[in-house]
Amino acid sequence: MTQPHPVGPDGSSPEALRAARPDPRAAMARLPFRTVFAYGAGDAGCNTAFAFAGNFLPLYFITVLGLPASVVATISLVVLIWDAFADVIAGRVVDSTMTRFGKFRPFILFGSLPLMILTVLLFTIPHMGSQGLTAIVAAVIYAVWGLVYSMINIPYGSLAPAITQVAEDRGKLGAARTYGGQIITLLLVLVISPQINQHEGDADALQTSITISALGFLVLGMILFMVCFFGVRERVFRETPKLSVRQSLRVIRTNRPLAFLCASSVIFLGGMYGMQAVAAFFTSFVLGDATLFIWLTLAGVVANLVIAPFAPRIIASIGKRRGYLLGCASFILGGIVLLVLGHSFPFALLGYFFTNLGVGLNNTLMWALEGDTVEYGEWKNDDRAEGATYSLFSFARKMSQALGRYLALSFIALFGFMEGSDAAATATNTSDHVRLGLSLVMGGLPILMGLLSALVMKFYPIDEKTFSTMVEDLHERREEEAVAG
């Protein structure tokens, strides 16, 4: 193996990088609360952009810009597939980077402001005089936003395996992501949903209101990103030569656990993102009040926050794979309640709670499982490719967005969902036929995707005994390298 020359884009010297290198034993030290909190703040920062777009961009495109649901479905499909490939590009950049700030943290420092500015632009797209031109401009801005988001989110997600190798602490980091993301999602819904109700039928007033909110979240997002940057350190460190494309492909091609995790995640999260794409429409036209989205979101956040602290205990008691299957079961149960009884608000609340209980558990476990696949790749190939591994996992998650949103928006378009915010659109979208389509997405999609995801995860090959063996082997290798070096 050739000797590494870890010089980053900022010109950091090998001496500076060696000075910043932690003791290999630090990787097995327990994490203090402040580190876990700071890591969770990073996901909260990401979600001031991501959850904003995920929860309200389809509504904004359809209601404010007046684009048909079928067009928005196509935009979502094309842009999110592009974003998925952008994640792979970002992963290659990350694996080629090393600076005095570490491998991953510099992207959070330098990329956060461009992301937040682009988020404001994403929700201030002007009418271009025709639907076609407006759709093209919206798609281009959305695509640029997605690329910049990838250049932050890939390093942020890759950061977790570089913070600790302790399985329980990785569970805590995954839980912190859940807390951070869910709290910001609730805040977004608390701020935006009343505006939708208040400005119903007035697209210009809704545009102004959303723009002001986006500027406020720009400031909040920057604060959260800086808390993350200054509050975490990379403690799992291995100097490696820059991985070639062939090496990166070999690491991920031979990573069977990563393949099963990605496949199951695409299916499961596709169901979640499909629900998310139509949830605001569901509350407006099936339940009859846009502000009820606040209560659904609150039920979802409570479910996520209730389950997140139990993730480390679930990992310790039944393991990650069985815990994931438990999350799928809750997701399916919630879908059944929504499909059969979701037209009644109390049952819609209950169904949404159970679906999000499953989402919260599995989202937490996914991040812990992804960290395990990084260890597997190094254990099997002796090359540690956090960026390439995480970027493939993020590719899968982006594909799940594309799949879920396309299926959901195309389905409601088939049922006659109408763009715009005028009286004709409201009358059409409150018809029994359209309401049935919305209910089928909200309830039927979790049932189908939960079953398929569980079937795939049944074959995930890393159990807790295998993981312990891998970590022990890798720890011994690093100690030997430290002595030899």
Q: What is the DSSP string of 433-459?
A: HHHHHHHIIIIIHHHHHHHHHHHHHTT
Give the chain's domains with CATH numbers.
22-484 (1.20.1250.20)
pLDDT tens digits, 306-358: 887 788 888 888 888 899 999 999 999 999 999 999 999 999 999 999 999 99
The pLDDT, as a whole number, for residue 162 is: 79
Structure tokens at 180: 């951070």
The pLDDT, as a whole number, for residue 2 is: 38
What share of the chain in percent tops pLDDT 70? Answer: 87
pLDDT tens digits, 292-304: 999 998 998 899 8
Do residues 419 and 425 touch, judged by C-beta distance below 8 A? yes
Quickly list DSSP for 221-278: HHHHHHHHHHH---------PPPPHHHHHHHHHT-HHHHHHHHHHHHHHHHHHHHHHH
* pLDDT < 70 regions, the chain: 1-30, 165, 167, 236-252, 381-387, 390-391, 481-485
Quickly list DSSP for 92-115: HHHHT--BTTBSSHHHHHHHHHHH
The pLDDT, as a whole number, for residue 425 is: 79
The pLDDT, as a whole number, for residue 271 is: 95
Instruction: For residues 66 and 83, give the distance between their C-alpha atoms in angstroms, rounded to a whole number.
Output: 24
**Can you say how many angstroms the Cα of residue 49 is from the centroid of all Cα atoms in its chain?**
11
pLDDT tens digits, 62-102: 989 999 999 999 999 999 888 888 877 887 787 777 777 77
The pLDDT, as a whole number, for residue 181 is: 86
The pLDDT, as a whole number, for residue 1 is: 37
The pLDDT, as a whole number, for residue 99 is: 72
Measured from the Cβ of residue 482, the count of other Cβ atoms closer than 10 Å reads 12
Structure tokens at 380: 């099997």
Instruction: For residues 482 and 238, give the distance between their C-alpha atoms in angstroms, rounded to a whole number.
Output: 10
What is the 8-class DSSP label of residue 29?
S
Distances, alpha carbon 313 to alpha carbons 191, 308, 319, in Å: 34, 10, 9
